[in-house]
Homo-oligomer: A and B are copies of this chain.
Amino acid sequence: MNAFVILAGRDLRLALRQSGDSLIVVAFFAIATVLFPFGVGPEAAVLARIAVGVVWVTALLAALLSLDRIFAMDFEDGTLDQLVLSGHPLPLVVLAKVAAHWLTTGVPLILLSPILAVTMRLPAAGYGTLILALVLGTPTVSLIGAVGAALVLGTRRGGVLLSLLVLPLYVPVLIFGTAAVEAAIIGRPTEPMLMVLGGLALLALTLSPWAAGAALRQAVE
């Protein structure tokens, strides 16, 4: 537990100070969302129709962008060797890094999403559920992504492979995430979708640290 705090703490501090991995995500998310109206035109009706989808898809893409680097930088500078030699169970190490990733990318995304939803003219009824769905969905995104990121370490085509591996796994999150918000907008119950999102998060939480840990160990070999 102590190791968890130390590791996550360092990654947080590094993210805030150095690579701006968290800021890139937010900037990317904001600017990407702002670009859509230029592409599809400014008509409020069209924008409102696609608002949820655009916010969710760009959120996923933004997370993917930063996942690429979650272990890669440590791998390249030798830090991963030292983490494997830390004597702590690797799933714990993974969990700490995922927590830091989520705090630096998922949380800012969640905080920014209402503002972007305003520019996209999301109907007012959808805001609460959008945030709730993102809160439940983004940890899954980070957890699944970590497995992919660990698997592609040291391969020559890391980035591509990662998107190929991970994006299909994001489809359920995307479907239930948008469905929840749309249900909220037309006034139908959102609990079922939110429950599914929560279930996905739990599943990812139990499985992916082990899978990612195993992948990391064979990456350093």
Q: Which residues of A contact B (CB under 8 A)?
A: 17-21, 23-28, 31-32, 35-36, 38-41, 46, 49-50, 52-54, 56-57, 60-61, 64-65, 156-164, 167-168, 170-171, 174-175, 178, 182
Contact = CB atoms under 8 A, between A and B. Distances in A.
Contact of A23 (B32, B36, B61, B157): B157
Contacts of A31: 163-164, 167-168
A156 B20 CA distance: 7
Given A19-B157, A65-B65, A157-B20, A53 B41 contact: yes
B32 A57 contact: yes
A38 B156 contact: no
15 contacts: A18-B156, A19-B158, A20-B157, A24-B162, A24-B163, A31-B163, A31-B164, A32-B61, A35-B170, A35-B171, A35-B174, A36-B54, A38-B174, A40-B50, A40-B53
Given A159-B24, A164-B31, A36 B57 contact: yes
Given A27-B163, A54-B40, A163-B24, A156 B61 contact: no
Contact of A46 (B49, B160, B178): B49
B60 A28 contact: no
A161 to B, nearest CB: 7
A207 to B, nearest CB: 22
